[in-house]
């Protein structure tokens, strides 16, 4: 089945270059020149992936991502300038699945997009055997890509769900950021520790909204592990670095 990508950037040259690369890779391509047009396009027909520039006039990519996350879980890949690390981190915390820094190679953007879609497909089609992971009040249905706290669903993005699943599949073990990056993207993928920390902060915020305060523990200078998941405050471990 042909996958559809929505390319959102106010620069017509960037839209043209990316459209050519994605078309060559077998995608059906739609484009939007601003955030409002992008939201209207998504509302009319949901794409498989949104490639979204952060810096746009009228409505920037961060606000577009915030609104997309308020209504669904379509994967989002950010395009980011080199000098706005804060915006990149904020984008991840808003629920973006990955980002590419400008200037970029169109082939890299397509490769990152394919990686996001493969992760999404694996999450949705996980084998039924051993599909349920549970600890305390937390339950993960890897077959249905669903995270629940006391039976109430906590909406996670693909990357967030895969991080929680990786920790739940290794109870008691502390996983380093590099190990978690391997779980998300595969060995050797170029991504910063801060991106992992941003995902973790986002996961903690979402679970805290469900009165879950001990899902992930931090071990300073080492990494993360699954917490006791009994809902207690203050049992999440030291939180430096994430």
Read off the CATH number of the domain in which 104 is found. 3.40.50.2300
Task: Specify whether 94 is located in the same domain as 142.
Answer: no
Instruction: Assign residue 140 the CATH number of its domain.
Output: 1.10.10.10
158 or 88: which leads in pLDDT: 158
Q: Is residue 240 part of a domain?
A: no
Task: Specify whether 39 is located in the same domain as 118.
Answer: yes
Of 124, 148, 182, which residue is a domain's last? Answer: 124
What is the predicted pLDDT for the residue at 199?
Answer: 86
What average pLDDT does the structure give for the chain?
Answer: 82
Number of H helices, E strands in the chain: 8, 11
What is the predicted pLDDT for the residue at 118?
Answer: 80
User: Once rounded to an integer, what is the mean pLDDT over residues 170-197?
Assistant: 71
Task: Specify whether 116 is located in the same domain as 152.
Answer: no
Number of domains making up the chain? 2
Residue 26 falls in which region: left (phi positive, over 0), alpha (psi -120 to 50) or beta? left
Both ends of the chain: CA-CA distance in Å?
Answer: 39
What is the predicted pLDDT for the residue at 179?
Answer: 81
Range of the domain at 141: 132-226
User: Once rounded to an integer, what is the mean pLDDT over residues 84-106?
Assistant: 78
User: Once rounded to an integer, what is the mean pLDDT over residues 71-89?
Assistant: 77
User: Once rounded to an integer, what is the mean pLDDT over residues 80-102?
Assistant: 75
Does this model's pTM top 0.75? My answer is no
Alpha-carbon gap, residue 222 to 241, rounded angstroms: 10
């Amino acid at each position: 089945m042909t996958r559809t990508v929505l390319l959102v950037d106010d620069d017509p040259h960037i839209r043209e270059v990316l459209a050519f690369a994605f078309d060559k890779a077998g995608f059906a391509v739609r484009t939007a020149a601003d955030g409002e047009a992008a939201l209207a396009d998504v509302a009319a027909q949901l794409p498989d992936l949104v490639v979204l520039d952060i810096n746009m006039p009228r409505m920037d990519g961060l606000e577009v991502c915030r609104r997309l996350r308020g209504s669904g879980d379509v994967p989002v890949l950010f395009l980011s300038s080199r000098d706005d690390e804060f915006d990149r981190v904020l984008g991840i915390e808003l629920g973006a699945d990955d980002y590419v820094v400008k200037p970029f190679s169109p082939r890299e953007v397509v490769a990152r997009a394919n990686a996001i879609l493969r992760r999404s497909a694996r999450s949705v089609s996980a084998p039924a055997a051993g599909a349920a992971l549970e600890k305390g009040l937390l339950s993960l249905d890897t077959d249905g890509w669903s995270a629940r706290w006391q039976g109430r669903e906590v909406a996670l993005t693909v990357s967030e769900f895969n991080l929680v699943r990786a920790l739940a599949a290794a109870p008691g073990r502390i996983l380093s950021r590099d190990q978690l990056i391997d779980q998300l993207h595969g060995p050797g993928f170029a991504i910063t520790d801060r991106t992992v920390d941003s995902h973790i902060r986002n996961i903690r915020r979402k679970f805290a909204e469900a009165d879950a305060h001990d899902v992930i523990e931090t071990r300073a200078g080492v990494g993360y592990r699954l917490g006791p998941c009994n809902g207690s405050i203050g049992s999440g471990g030291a939180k430096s670095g994430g």
